[in-house]
Structures are given as structure tokens and as C-alpha cells.
Amino acid sequence: MVLVTDRQYSLDPKLKEKLDLMIKRMDSGKDNLLLIDGDEGDGKTNMSLLLGYYVAHTCDRDFSLKNIFFDLDELIEFAIKTKEQVIIWDEGALGGLASEWWNKNQKKFIKLLMVARKRKHFWVVNIPKFFKMNEYFVIDRSIGLVHVYLRGGTEHGRFVYFNQIQKEKLWEDWKRSRVRGYKKWWSFHGSFVMFLGRKRFSDIIDEVQYDKKKDIAIMSIAKEDEPRKKETDYRYESDERILEVCEQMGLNRKETAEKMCVGIKVLERIVTKRNKLRVEETLTPKPLRK
């Protein structure tokens, strides 16, 4: 392990070597797409932040919560309006919540990669499993794949890396026999440290703010995917839950309306209906902060 950046955290030397080659690619006018997959809770987000901060620090680029996205439309707007950024799409943090959402937005992301290539962004995409992605991502567009896992099912901080040749063999094995050949085709393996919740990184990415941003994304996607059988069911089961998350975050009326994609008047009707239901259930209404 080698110590890197001003924060002096440990990074696998072979993984650092790969990142340095990717940085040279950007110096020659190209961008990089790095994929990170693994089961929920195995460390995808921590790995992406460690790698993202190394690239940002080495290339003198900004790196904060603003560089991490759950909402694809927000990511697209940011990527088009900027250049030479580290951009993390943390879809993997959402788990398997919205498969239809992922299939729909994958096509939008492919188009973005095609038009934004010359902006020399460093892209990191966190996904639950590599085979959820289009072949274009895994084979043609990505520069590498990092698979994170728990050693022995309990020990965090382990990974295997697949270069362009190995990830193609990994993909072929899956397409041919549905075998996830993580142990067969890897280029090298190693360990990594945690990022979120560590004091040395707290001024870069605050874990509480990260979780709040993720909660909003999860609730928004749940709202999109929820079947609209009846308007009354929809308002109670979907809007009420998103409203509760917004209240827990301390958002005001305007911010809450923006997150829920409704106008202020519609929001007031939702709050009134929710409070009325709470009264009927002998619960004390909780007013929205002005």
C-alpha cells in the first residue's frame, strides 16, 4: 500500500498505477469511465470516493458532494455545463429499487457519454452487478471494472480489478453460461480503506449530508415507479413518504416542493391532507417549516 494525496490515505499500488494511466489519457484529450460493482453494503461508494478524490487531487479538480449524483437528470446538466470534472453516478447505493428506472436511464447515460467525451470528465459508475449494464458500457466504453466484496462474508475493504481484456472475458462467460467469473478473470486484487465516516475525509464528504441526498433520490425513484391505481392511494402512499423525508431533512416549503416536483399550492394540499389523516388517526400534525 502507498500513501496518497494530502490526506495520506492508503491506496493499492497497482490500482494507483491504473489511475495514473487514466489521468494520462485525460491529458491527451480523452475521458475515462470506470465501473465499480458489488453487493449492497460491500463498499462501492467508499471505493468510488477514494478513487475519485485521488484523481481530483492529482488533477487539481474540485471534489465534494456536488460531484456525486443519484439523479441522472442532475448529472446530465452538470456534465454538459462543465468540463474536466470527477463525476460519480452512485446508482449502486440505490440497490435494486428500480430496475425499470435503470433500464430507461441507461440509454440516456449512453447518449451523454457520446456527446460529452471531449469534456475530459473522469466518470465513476457504481452498480450492483456488471451484467445489469449494456454491453457498450462493459466492453466498449469502460476503461476498467472494480469488483468489491467482503472477505469471508464479513471483512470489508477487498476488491479485484479487471482490465479491458479480463472484463471482456468476464462478460463473455456471463453471456455464454451465466457464470460470474470474478475469481477467474481478475487482473489483480487488493484492499482499500473506508472513506465515509472517517475524520480525515469529513470536510470533503459529510456522511450525514450524503445519506440525506441519497434518501431524497430513493424516495423520488419510489414515487416514479409506484403504480398509479388511485389518486388517493398515490398521494397517501408516495407523496406522504417523500414529505416525511423532507421534513426530517429540515427542508422549507420551497425546497420540499422542488424535491416533490409540485407547486407550492399542491404541496399545501398534500400537507393539509396528510395532517388531516394524522388527526383522524389521533396523531399530532407536524407542520412544515416556513
What grid cell was written down for 155? 471483512
pLDDT for the residue 235? 42
pLDDT for the residue 239? 66
pLDDT for the residue 232? 42
Do 197 and 244 lie in one domain? The reply is no
Do 69 and 163 lie in one domain? The reply is yes
Do 245 and 116 lie in one domain? The reply is no
Do 36 and 173 lie in one domain? The reply is yes
What pTM did the predictor assign? 0.74
Do 120 and 51 lie in one domain? The reply is yes
From 41, 20, 158, 21, select the one nearest 92 (Cα to Cα).
41
Do 12 and 47 lie in one domain? The reply is yes
Do 193 and 266 lie in one domain? The reply is no
pLDDT for the residue 234? 37
pLDDT for the residue 282? 52
Q: Is residue 104 part of a domain?
A: yes
Cα distances (angstroms) measured from residue 248 to each of 70, 225, 226, 290: 19, 23, 22, 14
- What CATH number has the domain bearing residue 152? 3.40.50
pLDDT for the residue 130? 87
**Residue that terminates a domain, selected from 165, 185, 201:** 201
Do 135 and 244 lie in one domain? The reply is no
What are the pLDDT tens digits along the chain (290 aa)?
999 999 999 999 999 999 999 999 998 888 999 999 998 889 999 999 999 999 999 999 999 999 999 888 889 999 999 999 999 999 765 654 445 556 677 778 888 888 888 899 999 999 888 887 878 888 888 999 999 999 887 888 999 999 999 999 999 999 899 888 898 999 999 999 999 999 999 999 999 999 998 888 777 765 555 544 444 443 444 566 677 767 777 778 887 877 666 778 778 888 888 777 776 655 555 555 55
Domain range for residue 236? 226-280
Cβ 44 vs Cβ 36: under 8 Å: yes
